[in-house]
Amino acid sequence: MASGDRSRSGQPRGVTTHRYGPDPDQYAELSLPRGERHPGVVVVIHGGFWRAAYDASGGQPLAADLARRGWVAWNIEYRRVGKGGGWPATLQDVADAIDLLAELDLDLDTSRVAAVGHSAGGHLATWAAGRARLRASAPGASPRIELTAVVPQAGVLDLHTAATTNVGGTATPDLLGGMPDEVPDRYLVADPIGQVPLSVPVLCVHSRPDDTVPIAQSEAYVAAARGAGADVELVEVGGDHMAHRDPTSMAWAAVIDALPRLMRP
């Protein structure tokens, strides 16, 4: 779908909005750095347990910081549970938002595109990195833009365990429309831990004291990915679950420090 640009009030200068669908929540915000050269594109995916109460404003500070550091930032919004989202809309929206990069009439290097996602956004970012292996009928299959690195920040990476241990309450079954034994085919498509090994590097950033998404989510994913021969790493940082959204935090510094290495050709 062709994109249309419009400025959004309250945003830093240089941010434009591009639509990938008719719903008010089907858009992405592009932040361009100063100068013509950039080291790559970083897709920013906000969290909030896939629920309508949380929106793309959560990713705006990170996108602005990335642009200040020379990266092209692509802060995406998507339909969430309670506002038109859930299965399969949320997954398809994330795929369509990333693929819209291929339609922008700009000089962007889309051969190097990383995704950074917080919490539920970490799930979506990691899931998106495995889209090329999805069956043709699955939401998000046949990507036009393939991610070359992914950084889940306190990500929900084991949906089966998240559902059965009430991570975020009923957030995971609300997203997929049931528990793992009720809609097993949906969990097979959507669960990052079932996609290992990915063909791109994965850096999991998590805090051990996190009491919103336990670090066991990242530990389980890293163990499974390593066992399958993937390029994966877990970096432990300080702070709580929300520290990852703060561009002045050590949690975010771990992402910034790793991006050049992850994006190296």
Q: Is the pLDDT of residue 206 over 50?
A: yes
Sign of CA pseudo-dihedral 124, 129, 131, 133: negative
For 171-193, what is each residue's pLDDT tens digit?
A: 999 999 999 999 999 999 999 99
Enumerate domains of the chain plus CATH numbers: 5-262 (3.40.50.1820)
Non-local (6+) Cβ contacts of 94 within 8 A are: 45, 76, 78, 124, 127, 128, 140
The pLDDT confidence band at residue 9, using thresholds 50, 70 and 90, is very low
Q: What is the pLDDT of residue 67?
A: 95
For residues 149 and 125, give the distance between their C-alpha atoms in angstroms, rounded to a whole number: 9
The pLDDT confidence band at residue 35, using thresholds 50, 70 and 90, is confident
**144 DSSP assignment:** S
Q: Is the pLDDT of residue 7 over 60?
A: no
**Percentage of the chain modeled with pLDDT above 90:** 89
Q: What is the pLDDT of residue 264?
A: 80
Q: Is the pLDDT of residue 21 over 50?
A: yes
Non-local (6+) Cβ contacts of 112 within 8 A are: 39, 40, 41, 148, 263, 265
Over range 232-249, report the average pLDDT.
Answer: 97
Mean model confidence pLDDT for the chain? 94
For 64-87, what is each residue's pLDDT tens digit?
A: 999 999 999 999 999 999 999 999
Name the residue with tokens 């050269």.
Answer: 37
Sign of CA pseudo-dihedral 76, 77, 78, 80: positive
For 100-143, what is each residue's pLDDT tens digit?
A: 999 998 889 899 999 999 999 999 999 999 999 999 999 999 99
